[in-house]
Structure 1
Amino acid sequence: MTYRSILAVLDGTPAGESQLRAAFALGRRYDAYLEVLHVKPDPNMSLPLVGEGMSGALIDDVSRELEASAQANADRARRFYDEACRAVDLAPVEAGDKPLAGGFRAAWRSLVGREDSETAARGLLADLIVVARPDPGQDGAYAPALEAGLFETARPVLVVPPGGESFAGRKVAIAWNATREATRAVSAALPLLAGAESVTVVSLAESGRNAPDPARLADYLLLHGIEARVRRVEPQRHAGNELLAQCAELDADLLVMGAYGHSRLREFVLGGATREVLSNAEVPVLLAH
C-alpha cells in the first residue's frame, strides 16, 4: 500500500504554508499526484442574516468586505502553491479532468463554492487529505475541510500544525484503544509506519478497566515488516493532553489516532481527546474516523 493521490485543501490562511510543505514532501516521497484545492466562498452565500433595519448600502459594504477577504485568501493560497512548486523545480500547472500520472506531480484547482462540499466531492478518491490545523483560538469553530474529510469521505486526514519546515514522520506514536477508528487510522498510516525509524504504540489505561493489549497491534504491524515498541500509560491528565505528553517524551514527529465524534447539523463536533489533540498538537496528526 502507498499513497498515489493526495488532496491538500488550502484555505489561504497563513497556516497553509506549513501544510503545503508537508503535502509536497509526501507527494515527492510516494511519487503521488498532489492536487492543491482552494475553494473561494461565494460572498452572496456568506452574507449574514439581514435584519429589517439593515440598509442596502450596508449590505453592499459587507458584501465587498467579504469579497475582498476571500480574494486575499485566494491570492495567498495561489502564492503558496507557486512557491512550493518553485522550491522543487516544478512548473505550476492547472488541474484538469484527469490526474497527472507518472511520478510526483502537483496541480492547482481553484473553485467557487463551499469548501466542505468540494472537499467531500474531491476527497472521496484521494488516498490522503492534508489540511491545516484549526486555529486553537477559535474553540468550537467550524473547520469545513477537516470535517468533510473525516465524516464525508471516509479517507484519512493529515492535520498539519503551523511552523513545521517539512514532513518527516521518522518517529511515530500510535494512540491505541482497539476501536474501529484507531484501527482505520493504523491501516491508513501503514505507508508512513513502514518508512519510520521508530514506531511506538501508546495505550492509555481507562478508568476502572484494563487498557487494550497494545502488544497485539505490535504483532500485527510485524506482519507488515514494521517493528513497534509498546508503552502502557496510566494517564496523569486528560487523555488528549496525555497523548501529547507521550509524544513529547518519545520525541515523536507524527501522531496516529482515531477521530472520535460526529457531524451534526453542519457543526464540527469531536470527542474530548480528539479536540484536545487538534487544539494543542505541535506535530502532524493523522486521523481516521
Structure 2
Amino acid sequence: MAFRKITCFVTGGARDAAALGSALLLATPAKGNVAALYLRADPRDVMPMVGEGLSGALIQDLMKSLEQENKSHAAKARDHLDKALAAAGGVYCERAPGSDRVSGSFTEAAGVTEDVMAAAARLSDVTVFPSVAKEDRTAVLVGLEAALLEGGRPLLVASEQTPAVLGRRVAIAWNGRTQSARALALAMPMLTGADAVHVLGVDTLRTDAEEAAPVVDYLAWHNVPAQYHKLSGTGSVAQQLQDACAEVGADLLIMGGYGHSRLRELILGGVTRAMLNQTTLPLLLAH
C-alpha cells in the first residue's frame, strides 16, 4: 500500500509551506494527491462570546471583518499550495484517479472543527498538520486531536522547515502499547521503502526498553531490516527520543499518540505533548 490520498490541514500561516511540502513528499512515490483543507472560521461561533451588549450594527461589522479575514487566510493557503506544487513538479487535480504525477487540490470547509477533521482523516491514507509547537490557536489543536483520536488513520505532524527527504531514515518509538502497535502497522508503507529503520526502547516506571527488541524480528518478516537501540540517557523520555533520532540521523519518528488521556497529558505533561512541542523532527502518530 502507498499513500495515494492525503489531506493536509492548512491555515494560511507560514507553517503551511513545510506541511504541504512534507505531504507532497509522501504522495510523490505513488503519484498521489494532496488535498489542502482550509477550515473557515464561522463568525457565528464567536457571537455568543462577544455579542452580549453589542449593537446590531457592531455585530454586523464584526462578522464582516471575520469574513474578510477568512478570505485573506484562504487566499494565502491556496498560494502556499500552488508554490508547493510548483516546487514538487506537481499539478492541480481534484478528481480521481489523478494525474501521471503528484497532484494537489484545495478545499474550503465550514463546520465543527472536530467533525470536519475527523471525517476528512477517515477517508485519507494519512492526514498532515503543520507544526503545532507553541501553537495557541484552539482550532488547530482541536483539529489535530480529532484527526488523531477519531480519524482511525495515521497523522503526520510536520517540522517547521520543509525537509529535503522524508521517511528515508526512520525511527520507531516502541513502548509495547496499543497505540505503538497501530502506529507501526499504519506506517508500514513507509517502512518497506526506508533506507534505514531504528527501533527505540526507553526504560520508564511503566515500560521496559527490552520490549522493543522483538519489533526488529517482526519487521524482518516484512523484509524491513532494522536496528534496536536501548536508550539509557538522562532527561525526559521525549528528550531521549529526540537525542537518539539526531544520533542516527532519523528524518521521521513513528510513535503512538496519547497513550495517557489528553487531560492527564495536558495537566501533568506527557511524551506526546512534549514531542509536539519540538520543531525539527516530523512525527507520524497513531492512536
Gap runs ≥5 in structure 1: none
Deviation per CA, 1:132-152, whole angstroms, max 9, x where unpaired? 121425398861331121111
Which residue identity does 1:21 align to in structure 2? G
Residues 84 and 288 of structure 1: CA distance in aligned 2, closer, same or farther (over 3 Å): same
From 205, 209, 214, the equivalent of 1:216 is 214
How far is the alpha carbon of 1:287 from its aligned partner? Answer: 0.2
Deviation per CA, 1:39-78, whole angstroms, max 9, x where unpaired? 2122122335136433434433432332232222101111
1-side partners of 2:200 and 2:218: how far apart? Answer: 15
2-side partners of 1:139 and 1:88: how far apart? Answer: 29
Which residue identity does 1:16 align to in structure 2? D
Report if the CA contact (8 A) 1:244-1:281 is conserved: no
Give the 3-state SS of the residue equivalent to 1:199 in structure 2: strand
Q: Which has the higher helix share?
A: 2
Gap runs ≥5 in structure 2: none
Q: For residue 128 of structure 1, what is the aligned residue in structure 2?
A: 126
Is 2:69 the counterpart of 1:43? Answer: no
Report if the CA contact (8 A) 2:130-2:160 is conserved: yes
How far is the alpha carbon of 1:194 from its aligned partner? Answer: 1.6
Report if the CA contact (8 A) 1:143-1:268 is conserved: no
Matches within 5 A, 1:150-169: 150-169=148-167
Q: For residue 199 of structure 1, what is the aligned residue in structure 2?
A: 197
Residues 12 and 208 of structure 1: CA distance in aligned 2, closer, same or farther (over 3 Å): closer
Q: Is the deviation greater in 135-144 or in 216-225?
A: 135-144
Report if the CA contact (8 A) 1:10-1:16 is conserved: yes
Q: Is the deviation greater in 79-88 or in 68-77?
A: 79-88
Which residue identity does 1:71 align to in structure 2? K
Give the 3-state SS of the residue equivalent to 2:224 in structure 1: coil
Give the 3-state SS of the residue equivalent to 1:169 in structure 2: coil
Q: Is the deviation greater in 267-276 or in 201-210?
A: 267-276
Q: For residue 242 of structure 1, what is the aligned residue in structure 2?
A: 240
Give the 3-state SS of the residue equivalent to 1:226 in structure 2: coil
1-side partners of 2:110 and 2:124: how far apart? Answer: 20
Report if the CA contact (8 A) 2:33-2:104 is conserved: yes
Q: TM-score, normalised by structure 1?
A: 0.87
Residues 134 and 154 of structure 1: CA distance in aligned 2, closer, same or farther (over 3 Å): same
Q: For residue 277 of structure 2, what is the aligned residue in structure 1?
A: 279
2-side partners of 1:251 and 1:270: how far apart? Answer: 30
2-side partners of 1:139 and 1:49: how far apart? Answer: 16
How far is the alpha carbon of 1:208 from its aligned partner? Answer: 7.4
Q: TM-score, normalised by structure 2?
A: 0.88
Which residue identity does 1:107 align to in structure 2? S
2-side partners of 1:223 and 1:188: how far apart? Answer: 16
Give the 3-state SS of the residue equivalent to 1:100 in structure 2: coil
Give the 3-state SS of the residue equivalent to 1:148 in structure 2: helix
Is 2:68 the counterpart of 1:68? Answer: yes
Report if the CA contact (8 A) 1:151-1:263 is conserved: no
Q: Is the deviation greater in 50-59 or in 115-124?
A: 50-59
Residues 271 and 225 of structure 1: CA distance in aligned 2, closer, same or farther (over 3 Å): farther
Give the 3-state SS of the residue equivalent to 2:37 in structure 1: strand
2-side partners of 1:118 and 1:99: how far apart? Answer: 23
Residues 167 and 19 of structure 1: CA distance in aligned 2, closer, same or farther (over 3 Å): farther
2-side partners of 1:268 and 1:76: how far apart? Answer: 31
Report if the CA contact (8 A) 1:174-1:202 is conserved: yes
Q: How many residue pairs get matched?
A: 285
How far is the alpha carbon of 1:282 from its aligned partner? Answer: 0.8
* Runs of 4+ deviating beyond 6 Å: 267-270
2-side partners of 1:208 and 1:270: how far apart? Answer: 16
How far is the alpha carbon of 1:181 from its aligned partner? Answer: 0.3
Residues 275 and 189 of structure 1: CA distance in aligned 2, closer, same or farther (over 3 Å): same
2-side partners of 1:62 and 1:84: how far apart? Answer: 33
Report if the CA contact (8 A) 1:4-1:31 is conserved: yes
Q: For residue 85 of structure 1, what is the aligned residue in structure 2?
A: 85
Q: What is the RMSD computed on CA atoms of the aligned residues?
A: 2.7
How far is the alpha carbon of 1:278 from its aligned partner? Answer: 0.4
